[in-house]
Amino acid sequence: MGVSMAKLEKVVMALLICAVAPNIIQVDADFSTSMYLTWGVQHASILGEDLHLVLDKTSGSAAQSKRSFLFGSIEMLIKLVPGNSAGTVTAYYLSSAGS
């Protein structure tokens, strides 16, 4: 009887973990509610899942996530000035506040 009770406890524990784990693992990945503009608001906008940042002769802009993420991806589309755009330096920076 003791052996079958131990197996039953393991099965119940496994079922409990399977029922609770998906709720813990899910992450709110909605970009528009996960980010906010930190400076240069007049040069930036969040449209759905897209972040538009503008850099011109007077200013740039920045955005920050409201919480930490373990991983992610970034895709960038860059519009260069017409004509000779040689020497144009484009970059984006990621930083971490640490623990």
Summarize pLDDT for 2-49 with one digit per residue, the tens.
Answer: 567 777 777 777 776 666 555 555 555 677 788 888 888 888 888 888
Extract long-range pairs of 11-18: CB within 8 Å, 24+ residues apart: none
Helix, strand, coil percentages (3-state) for the chain, rounded to 5, are 30, 15, 50
Query: Which amino acid, 39?
Result: W
Give pLDDT, residue 16. 63
Give pLDDT, residue 19. 63
Of residues 18 and 78, more confidently modeled: 78
pTM of the entire predicted model: 0.52
